[in-house]
Each structure stands twice: as C-alpha cells, then as structure tokens.
Amino acid sequence: MRLIIISGLSGSGKTVALHALEDEGFYCIDNLHPGLLPAFVNNLLSPKVKLYEEAAVGIDARSGVEELRNFNNILEELRSLGVELEIVYLQAEIHTLIKRFSETRRKHPLSRKGLPLIEAIHLERSLLSAIAEHADLTIDTTLTNVHQLSSQIRERIGRIHVSSLSLQFQSFGFKHGVPGDSDFLFDARCLPNPHWEAHLRHQTGLDSAVQQYLSSHPMVEDMYRDIQHFLQTWIPHFEAENRSYLTVSIGCTGGQHRSVYLVQRLASAFQDERGTEIAIRHRELS
C-alpha cells in the first residue's frame, strides 16, 4: 500500500493537493489526527476493506503539540506495517499567505483568542517543523496558482511508479525570487542573453530562433555539458538512498530564455537516458 501524507502551512494548497490526488484515484482524508494514522492504515490493509492501494491524508497543526512531537514514532510504526510512505510538505512566503487569507477572508486555524495572523503563521511553521524535516518532497507555492499546483501534484505524485525517482527540471527568473523547493540550483545569468537581441526579446527558450542563438555560443554548450555530467554523476547516489523526488532548478534573469533553453535540453537528454517521463516546469511561462 502507498500512503501520501500531505502537510504544510495553511493557505499553501493542501486541500488543492488532496483534491488532485483524489482525482487520480487515491482514497483521501483531510485533517486526520496523526495518532489515528496506524489504525487508518491497518483498516485499509484489512482483507475485508482492501479496496484502495493508494491513499492520501492531510495533517495540519491543529493535531496538537504532543502528537506532532511524537511524529517520528508514528512514522516508524507506519513503516513497520510495510507501507510505502511519502511525505509532501507545502509552503509559501509569509506575505503570500497573508494576502491569500485577506483575499478569501478566512481565518487562520491557529488565530484563536486574538492571535495576529503573522504570529499564527510563525507558530504553525514551528509546530510543523517535525513533519517538514521528514518531507520527501517540498513544494513552494508562492508563485503557483491552484491549477498549476494540481498539475504538479498529478505529474509528480499521482502518476509516479513507487520504485522510480520523480525528476523535475524547473526554469525560473531570479528577479521573481529563487524557488524554495530546489534540490539543485544552477545560475545561467553569465550566459549570452537573447533579451538584448531585439528580434529575440519577445520570444522564449521554446522558440527555435532563441535555441539557435544560444546553441551557437560555446559557453552555453559548456554549461549544458557540465550540468549534465554533474547530474549523471550524482542522481544515481540519490536513487541509491531511496529518494522519491528530485528538483533541478535553473535560473536566469527573467526566466524566459536561457534557463528555459537549458531545462528543455536537459529534460530531453535525461528522458532519453532513463526511459521515463521527466517533469518540466517553466515557472515564469506558466
């Protein structure tokens, strides 16, 4: 049986993630008390109930301090049952969470007794730290809307084969902020910039004219080969440690040309090499 634990900060998209997995055929429960997880799994594993091979549960800070502190022991108990366990943690920058609560006019679950919103967010982050440090996959939703998050969840979790590594290549623009969910991050801002070519400025790294321009510069090819060699060397070590997810982020100034080009080439190379689907995300083009 495969069990996905979805946790993270309120307002970061936990409900969206659960709905996406439900659409993929997972049996989903939101806001389950951590102490009930072993009983929940035992029930699903029972020969009388065994209808679902994949389940997902949402856990948040309302579970209580003691249960969250005991999270390590709960995980060990779950693994002793032979469950294929994965933890997904969602987060976003504080100013984004504040804006989301303001727009929806919903109260933060920890803002009882007059606790200011920003203090409730900090408290929640502290309470969930035990879950965050065990996360197999962390997703930063600061610049992600609900449709993009649903797509990410389906691509990276819903369709993954348990025995394989889910590898994502992501492009981004440094001027819009560094993604907080990167395992490897490379900076392509030193490469020739198509933005300064008037006829290429409004195109992207997906367009053939930009691709031809970048491929004509030896230093672009050198960076591509260096990153490819680095990843070919180290990804197998992560797989040997049973990592389920790995995100490689490449950034340039605006996330339109150089980073997009490199991500497309690397994703294509690793898809051919591994024979499996590779997730691609162009953050600033979404």
pLDDT in tens, 97-125: 999 998 888 888 888 767 899 999 999 99
Answer whether residue 236 shows pLDDT above 80. Answer: yes
The residue ranking higher by pLDDT, 35 or 261, is 261
Mean pLDDT of 239-258: 92
Nearest to residue 87, comparing CAs of 278, 277, 244? Answer: 244
Q: Please give the domain boundaries of the chain with CATH numbers for all domains.
A: 2-163 (3.40.50.300), 167-285 (no CATH)
Q: What is the pLDDT of residue 61?
A: 86
Average per-residue pLDDT for the chain = 91
- Looking at residue 175, its pLDDT comes to 96
pTM: 0.78
Most confident of 57-71, 110-124, 252-266: 252-266
Inform me whether the pLDDT recorded for 198 exceeds 60: yes
Return the closest-CA partner of residue 56 out of 90, 101, 10, 91.
90
pLDDT at 159 exceeding the cut of 70? no
pLDDT at 156: 87
**For residue 272, what pLDDT is reported?**
84
Q: Is the pLDDT of residue 29 over 90?
A: yes
Question: What's the sign of the alpha-carbon dihedral 207, 279, 259, 93?
Answer: positive
Asked if 58 and 8 touch (Cβ cutoff 8 Å), the reply is no
Q: What percent of the chain has pLDDT over 90?
A: 69
